[in-house]
Structure formats: C-alpha cells, structure tokens
C-alpha cells in the first residue's frame, strides 16, 4: 500500500536512508508537525494513546470529517500504550469479540507498510497453557470457536508444546503440570512506542493537530449536544468529541454527567536485564497468572495481575509481582536467577464482561471508546478503525455494533473473562 500523503521529503525508504547518510543523518525532516490549539474543530479526540491516535488517523484517511485534533494531557503514547507488554492475538471466545480482534490483527499485518513506519510487528505465535482438565476443555472450546470463524488456532498436547518451547518445564513433576496449550501462530508482539509514533506521524501528515500537555477539564454540553471543551489551553469548540482515555474514562464521563460500568485498577509489568535470545514466542498461563515474551533487546517482558482495588496511582502492590515471578519461575526454572531491571504500573479500565465499549452516548456528538482493560494494545488499529467509522457516520461499524453502553441494561453482555479477564 502506498502512502501518497507523505511528500517525497518525508517518506522513509532505502533511498531516503541513503540520501540522509551523506549528511551524517543530521538533516532528517521532523517526523511530525508541531501544532497549537485552534479555537474550533470538527472532531476532537480526547486521549493521545495508541487508540486515540489510530482513531484520528483513520478519520483523516478514510472519512471526510473536516478539521481534527487530538488532545493529550501528557505526551503522546505515554499512558498504557507505553506501559503494556505488547501482546497481540485474536483468539477470543465469542463471535463479536473474536471478529473485532481479528479485524485488528489483519490491520496489524499491513500496518508498517500503511504507516510507512516500522511497528516491529513480529508474528512469533502465542501459547495459552492448560494446567488441568477444565483448562483443556476451555482451550478446545475456544480453538473450535476460533476455527469456525477462520481464525488460526490449534490445540497442542504437552509433548507438542515441549517440542516448540524447549525451556518450558513440561515434565510431570513440575508444580503446575502442563497438559497442553492453545496456539495462535499469527499472534505475537509489536513495539508499543513505534505504534504510537507511527500513527502520530501519519495522522499529522494528514493534517491532524496533535496537542500535547493539554488536559480536558470540562465539557460544554447544551441542548443534549456537545458544544465544546474546557482545556488547560483554554476553551475549544467542537462538533463531535471522541473520548479514548483508557484508565481515566470515568473522570471524563463524570464531566458529561454520564455513568459508566468501568472500574480503574493498577496493572503492572516488569522486565529483566537483557540476555541472549532463549524464547522466540509468547507464553501465557491464565491459571498460574503469568505471561512473558522476550523483546528484541533480549529482555524478558513479564506481565503481572491487576490490583484488586480501584486506583489511579500508576503503581501496583509488591505481592502481585511476587506472585507472578513465582509462577514464571515454576514454568521456566532456568529463569530463577535472572535479575529484574524495571517495574511499572498503568491504570486499566475494566468492564464487568471484560469487553470494551465503543459506543455513542445519550449526548449527541459525544462518543466513548473505552473498557479495553488489560488487553487493548492488540486492538489499537482495529479500535481506531471502527471508532473513526462510528464518529464519522454517527453510527457503529458492523464490527462494533454489539459493543454498546446499552448492553449493561439489555443484558446482552459479551463475556470474555475466560479469554481476556486475566491474561492480556
């Protein structure tokens, strides 16, 4: 796919690499345009994480909606986008969810070319381990459901898992015996910062104003319609507003006088020192709650669980790290002496059915995309794509029609706790 919206000077290619090498790489053009807040926009996106930037990109690329801005209270991609463990997969249980995540996975597969930016998307496969008979039944059910929808999914027995991941302890004497796994070969990881930067650069070239250090502090709503926003950079008029604020969804919902079925929890991750490559895939275990992959830099990237209590402080409790580290050590005994380098937390927006909300609201012109909880990174392109459609048409895309706010009064929930509630 060509990116005709980049002029020659800005397109990355082997030619531009060669040309810039002659001037010692000192003259590369700015990756994106610096913008200041104007007094009025047709569409404003609140939240400059991956999802918000993707929304702005697809709005500008595929829909004719006029002038667009993204308002970010910190720096672009500094929220959960910068803090997640970057797993990408689409093996969800229910049709609505699996189709949405598969749409996203397909977009990932062409994303680097589309954005003219390397997102380091690496389809190294994802294993979900089963440790008891019930786990294996659930795995078979999910793999069958995936297969029926045309999503790649396999059930492997313990020996097949052992053959593919030699350093995993699949022996019978292990503390959490492994009976088998589900395997999605097209799953994998991507580079979190690269995704945000790629979308930001492409959106900026399509004319989107990206405004950093600009916090939305109030909403101007009159006659049942959004009129504008109060921000730390002053008042700005808007015809339509899309909120993509992850952990801060409820804070913004309160500004609009809306109630959401969202709870914000700290979620942690940690990485080890860099070491030689020993793991070329992604391993997740719901039952013992640990999952890991090895980054291109050689660090083990390990995800822990959420704190049970609500919290907006971007840090989590030590006992959760301990729990996960203990589980990882049982699965991979040889990691017992690996030193951990860094640990951090993000704030995730969880919903009662562990599925997102991508929806219109009772207020005209105001839309929310939230509730991705512990597992929204993988959905970044798909989420932005269907949300852009929802805003541009004032009508959901067929793929997000089920992900309404109303489902919490009609009862048509999309219960993904088995696939998404714990692991990511």
Ligand X SMILES: Cc1cc2nc3c(=O)[nH]c(=O)nc-3n(C[C@H](O)[C@H](O)[C@H](O)COP(=O)(O)OP(=O)(O)OC[C@H]3O[C@@H](n4cnc5c(N)ncnc54)[C@H](O)[C@@H]3O)c2cc1C
| Residue 381 near residue 107 (C-beta atoms within 8 A) | yes
Q: Which stretch binds another protein (CB under 8 A): 70-78, 132-140, 262-270, 293-301?
A: 262-270
Strand-pair partners of 267:
306, 346
* Cα gap 158→180, rounded to integer Å: 4
Indicate whether 48 belongs to the interface with ligand X (CB under 6 A): yes
* Cα gap 16→7, rounded to integer Å: 12
Residue that the structure tokens 């990881």 belong to: 189
**Contact code string over 280-309 relative to another protein, x by CB under 8 A:** ----------------------------xx
At closest approach, how far in Å is the CB of 340 from ligand X? Answer: 14
Indicate whether 260 belongs to the interface with another protein (CB under 8 A): yes
Distances (CA, A) of 337 to 327, 328, 343: 14, 12, 17
Indicate whether 378 belongs to the interface with ligand X (CB under 6 A): yes
Indicate whether 303 belongs to the interface with ligand X (CB under 6 A): yes
Indicate whether 28 belongs to the interface with another protein (CB under 8 A): no
Closest CA to 100 of 330, 362, 322, 419: 419
Q: Which stretch binds ligand X (CB under 6 A): 82-90, 92-100, 118-126, 155-163?
A: 82-90
At closest approach, how far in Å is the CB of 321 from ligand X? Answer: 11
Indicate whether 52 belongs to the interface with ligand X (CB under 6 A): yes
DSSP symbols for 28-92: PPPSS------SEEEEEEE--SHHHHHHHHHHHHH-----EEEE-SSSTT-SHHHHS--EE----
Indicate whether 312 belongs to the interface with another protein (CB under 8 A): yes
Indicate whether 370 belongs to the interface with another protein (CB under 8 A): no
Between helix 95-109 and helix 133-148 the angle, nearest 10°, is 70
Q: Of these, 33, 259, 342, 412, which contacts another protein (CB under 8 A)?
A: 259
Q: Indicate the residue among 10 and 295 with the shorter CB distance to ligand X.
A: 295
* Cα gap 53→72, rounded to integer Å: 10
* Cα gap 333→315, rounded to integer Å: 28
Number of residues that bind another protein (CB under 8 A): 24
Q: Any residues with CB less than 8 A from the CB of 34 and at least 6 apart, and which?
A: none
48 binds, among another protein, ligand X, none (CB under 5 to 8 A by kind): ligand X
Indicate whether 144 belongs to the interface with another protein (CB under 8 A): no
Q: Which stretch binds another protein (CB under 8 A): 173-181, 202-210, 247-255, 279-287?
A: 247-255
At closest approach, how far in Å is the CB of 80 from ligand X? Answer: 3
Q: Indicate the residue among 269 and 300 with the shorter CB distance to ligand X.
A: 269
Between helix 192-205 and helix 380-393 the angle, nearest 10°, is 30
CA atoms within 13 A on the CB side of 308: 1
Using CB under 6 A as the criterion, which residues of the chain lie in contact with ligand X when the complex forms?
46-52, 71-74, 78-81, 83-87, 215-216, 244-246, 248, 252, 267-269, 303, 346, 348, 372, 374-378, 424
Residues in contact with another protein by the rule CB under 8 A: 248, 250-251, 254, 259-264, 308-313, 317-319, 352, 408-411
């Amino acid at each position: 796919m060509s990116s005709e919206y980049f002029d020659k000077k800005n397109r990355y290619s082997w030619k531009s690499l060669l040309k810039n090498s002659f001037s010692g790489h000192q003259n590369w053009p700015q990756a994106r345009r610096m913008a200041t807040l104007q007094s009025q926009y047709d569409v404003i996106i609140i939240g400059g994480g991956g999802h918000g930037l993707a929304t702005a990109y697809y709005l500008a690329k595929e829909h004719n909606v006029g002038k667009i801005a993204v308002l970010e209270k910190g720096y672009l991609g500094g929220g959960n986008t910068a803090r997640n463990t970057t797993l990408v997969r689409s093996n969800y249980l229910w049709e609505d969810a699996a189709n949405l995540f598969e749409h996203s996975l397909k977009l990932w597969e062409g994303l680097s070319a589309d954005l003219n930016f390397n997102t380091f998307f690496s389809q190294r496969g994802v294993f979900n381990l089963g440790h008891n008979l019930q786990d294996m039944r659930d795995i078979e059910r999910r793999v069958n459901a995936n297969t029926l929808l045309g999503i790649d999914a396999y059930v492997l027995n313990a020996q097949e898992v052992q053959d593919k991941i030699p350093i995993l302890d699949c022996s019978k004497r292990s503390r959490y015996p492994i009976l088998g796994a589900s395997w999605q070969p097209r799953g994998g990881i991507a580079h979190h910062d690269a995704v945000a930067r790629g979308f930001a650069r492409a959106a900026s070239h399509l004319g989107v104003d990206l405004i950093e250090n600009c916090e939305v502090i109030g909403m101007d709503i009159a006659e049942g319609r959004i009129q504008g926003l109060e921000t730390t950079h002053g008042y700005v008029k808007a015809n339509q507003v899309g909120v993509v604020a992850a952990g801060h969804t409820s804070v913004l919902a309160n500004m609009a006088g809306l109630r959401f079925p969202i709870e914000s929890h700290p979620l942690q991750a940690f990485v080890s020192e860099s070491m030689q490559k020993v793991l070329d895939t992604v391993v997740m275990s719901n039952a013992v709650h640990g999952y890991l992959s090895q980054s291109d830099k050689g660090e083990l990237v390990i995800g822990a669980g959420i704190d049970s209590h609500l919290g907006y402080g971007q840090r989590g409790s030590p006992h959760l790290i301990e729990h996960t580290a203990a589980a990882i050590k049982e699965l991979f005994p040889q990691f017992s002496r690996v030193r951990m380098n860094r640990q951090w937390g993000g704030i995730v927006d969880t919903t009662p059915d562990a599925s997102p909300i991508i929806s219109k609201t009772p207020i005209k012109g105001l839309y929310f995309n939230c509730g991705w909880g512990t597992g929204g990174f993988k959905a970044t392109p798909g989420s932005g794509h269907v949300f852009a459609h929802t805003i541009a048409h004032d009508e959901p895309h067929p793929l997000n029609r089920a992900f309404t706010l109303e489902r919490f009064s009609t009862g048509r929930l999309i219960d993904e706790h088995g696939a998404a509630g714990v692991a990511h």
